[in-house]
Structure 1
Amino acid sequence: MREIIDLSDKTITIDRNEFLKVKGSIDTNVYYVESGSLRVFVLDNYEEQTIRFGYKENLIASLDSFLTGQPSDLFIQAIKKTVIKVITKPQIDHFLKTETNRVLWTKILENLVIQQMEREIDILTNSPKERYQRVLKRSPQLFQEIPNKYIANYLRMSAETLSRLKKS
């Protein structure tokens, strides 16, 4: 992944609660989180539904917009002050001119697909306890980086339920 990160020639800082991307915009960049944390969410009947997080050493993107060049329904917002490296689509396209780099990029995309499939299973798992345990096992660092209210939203449960599960 270092090869992808090294493509970046631009670092930006976004403040807590600031948006990196809003619904309806096109964003063909990939971002590497150097510090801080972000959340990706959609609005469903004016209710925010968190679908992904990005924190230190994660790649994050509005993948639908990146791949299609079309506007996305996703919002990306800083949870706390966040420093990110920006990698543009033209930089990635140039990088993909060699077979070795295409194989690396394919592995990164495959990993993102697997993460998304795990996320879908989490959502479809009925028991809040099972959802919590799955995410804790898969991403223990999440619980150090992200405030409980966002994790609870991600897990489709109340903050109180999450708090009870963490204590048990």
Structure 2
Amino acid sequence: MVDKLLQSGLHWEKKEFRRNEFLKIPGSTDTHIYFIENGSLRIFMTDEKEERIIRFGYTGNMIVSLDSFLSGKPSDLCIQAIKRSSVKIASKKDFYELICSGEENMKFWINILEDVVLQQLEREKDLLIHSPRERFERVLKRSPQLFQEVPNKYIANYLRMSPETLSRLKKS
């Protein structure tokens, strides 16, 4: 699906991000969509000085602060490079011109949105599960690549458990 978008003629600007560098900061409006050529990123928010990781993206993924991208309004979400990352960036304006240029492109966008909604529902289920082991097993089954691409401290935050608990679960 993403390959089609990359070969669509959409103007992509390539940019390198250093570890911990931000693609989007809180209070800003996201007017771009990002394709991760290599590296890994995280989307998170800070509440009462505690970070809450919402989503990860790594090599081959698209990522965006979807609330801001869709609404055109500022968002509290941040997008930050977890490690050195190479990212292709397209503007919302160019992206929307592409998806509005034909029925097939619109279907492509609807498929992306449907996939994101289904992923978000799975994420919500994960957060409702009390057992750290079950949360870990669900995410491992759904996204084994996550454990290759992302440091444990971020995965533990995402799973709402301590790094020590995650380490024990990985060993067992």
> Would you say same fold, with TM above 0.5?
yes
In the TM superposition, what are the counterparts of 1:83-122 in structure 2 within 5 Å?
Answer: 83-96=86-99, 97-122=101-126
Partner of 1:15: 18
TM-score by length of 1: 0.97
Aligned length: 168
Aligned-pair distance for 1:9? Answer: 2.5
Aligned-pair distance for 1:72? Answer: 0.5
CA distance in 2 between counterparts of 1:11 and 1:57 reads 14
Q: Counterpart of 1:26 in 2: which secondary structure?
A: coil
Cα deviation per residue 1:47-100 (whole Å; 9 max; x = unaligned)? 001110010000100001100110001011110001000021111111122001
Is there any run of 5+ residues in structure 1 with no aligned partner, and where?
A: none
1:37 partnered with 2:40 = yes
Q: Counterpart of 1:72 in 2: which secondary structure?
A: coil
Aligned-pair distance for 1:123? Answer: 0.7
CA distance in 1 between counterparts of 2:152 and 2:58 reads 15
Partner of 1:142: 146
CA distance in 2 between counterparts of 1:93 and 1:120 reads 28
Partner of 1:3: 4
Q: Counterpart of 1:80 in 2: which secondary structure?
A: coil
Q: Do the aligned residues in 2 keep the contact of 1:34 with 1:56 (CA within 8 Å)?
A: yes
Partner of 1:74: 77
Which residue, out of 123, 127, 137, partners 2:131? 127
Aligned-pair distance for 1:153? Answer: 0.3
Partner of 1:158: 162
Aligned-pair distance for 1:2? Answer: 1.8
Aligned-pair distance for 1:4? Answer: 1.9
CA distance in 2 between counterparts of 1:106 and 1:98 reads 13
User: How high is the sequence identity, in percent, across the aligned residues?
Assistant: 58
- Single out whichever of 4-13 and 90-99 deviates more from structure 2: 4-13
Q: Do the aligned residues in 2 keep the contact of 1:28 with 1:67 (CA within 8 Å)?
A: no
| Partner amino acid, structure 1, of 2:64 | A
Aligned-pair distance for 1:28? Answer: 1.7
CA distance in 2 between counterparts of 1:24 and 1:62 reads 11
Aligned-pair distance for 1:116? Answer: 0.8
| Partner amino acid, structure 1, of 2:123 | R
| Partner amino acid, structure 1, of 2:57 | G
TM-score by length of 2: 0.95
